[in-house]
Amino acid sequence: MYDLVIIGAGPAGLAAGLYGARAKMKTLVLEKEKKGGQIVVTSEVENYPGSVENATGPSLTKRFADQVEHFGAEIKKANVKDINLDSKIKEVICDDETYKAKAVILATGASPRKLGCTGEKEFTGKGVSYCATCDADFFEDFEVIVVGGGDSALEEAMYLTKFARKVYLVHRKDTFKAAKSIVEKAQANDKIEFWLNKEIIEIKGDGILESVLLKDTVTGETSEYVADEDDGTMGVFIFVGLIPQTSLFEGKINLENGYIVTDTEMRTNIEGVYAAGDVRVKTLRQVVTAAADGAIAAVTAEKYIDEHFE
């Protein structure tokens, strides 16, 4: 029996674990993959307040995890296959064991939807990015390609024009899902060039990203775009949607477009169950906001436990 079980060991889950443990709650953090969530594949983390110079995703994650364990929380690798939220005592059912808890924090995150093309995985963090806010300044005065046709793709393309000297927006159709006002604003930006009816089928390079292979979705013709010789590299920013990791909670908790609905105190519609980080409905998905969510969720859970359990 635990006071608090947290599912997910990204920044939200680890921050919740830290605040839970410091509040003297018996706290367990469960993670099926690597600790750190999306930041574990980030080569540099410059926008987390107070992070040391040359901080990387793995180094920041290690500091998070070490701090959590220093204050007494347990971090276990486990695959959660079901969850029972119907009774006062919650059950988190894993492959090998079932954990009981007075309160549960869901911090399973959301992962960027991938293109699935050759080279995408190999060049993630070496030219391929899914976050302009995180990585735009690495491409100051370089050329970048943005992939996508929704609000986020066009908004991020406009954001990237503050850094890159040229932004090429690749979209597999000739119409956009983005709001008309956003499309018009992007079209009026002279630093953005639209490559419509095209898709990236391969990302190439020798150690760093150097070119992309494009396919015309109408004619089937292929072409290669190579980074400027003086630059040697370029950025590819992919914004084709996020996938919230909530399949486990469908039918058990209120969701909106797959994301968990919470109030400002991270409460869900079920008493004693909270959500934090990228998995919940929110406007900004960053390490700093995830960590803040986790802290709030743990403090709210502590108050709930104090009020409902002797």
CB 282 within 8 A of CB 276: no
Q: Which residues contact residue 42 at a Cβ distance below 8 angstroms, ignoring those fewer than 6 apart?
A: 56, 57, 125, 134
* CB neighbour burial string for 138-147, b if at least 16 within 10 angstroms, e if fewer: bbeebbbbbb
94 flagged as catalytic: no
Give the CB-side neighbour count of residue 189, counting CA atoms within 13 A. 25
CB 214 within 8 A of CB 109: no
42-146-207-35 Cα dihedral, nearest 10 degrees: 20
306 flagged as catalytic: no
From the list 94, 134, 278, 293, the catalytic residue is: 134
Comparing CA positions, the residue from 89, 74, 81 lying closest to residue 27 is: 74
Please report where in the chains the tokens 């220093």 appear, as a residue. 70
Q: Which residues contact residue 297 at a Cβ distance below 8 angstroms, ignoring those fewer than 6 apart?
A: 12, 16, 105, 107, 265, 266, 274, 275, 276
From the list 3, 117, 131, 278, the catalytic residue is: 131
Please report where in the chains the tokens 């309160």 appear, as a residue. 103
From the list 3, 135, 278, 293, the catalytic residue is: 135
Please report where in the chains the tokens 């300044």 appear, as a residue. 137
How do beta strands 80-84 and 90-94 pair?
Answer: antiparallel
Q: Which residues contact residue 13 at a Cβ distance below 8 angstroms, ignoring those fewer than 6 apart?
A: 6, 7, 29, 31, 37, 105, 107, 276, 277, 294
Structure tokens at 189: 């930006």
> 237 vs 68, 73, 120, 126, 278, CA distance in Å?
33, 36, 11, 11, 19
Catalytic residues: 131, 134-135
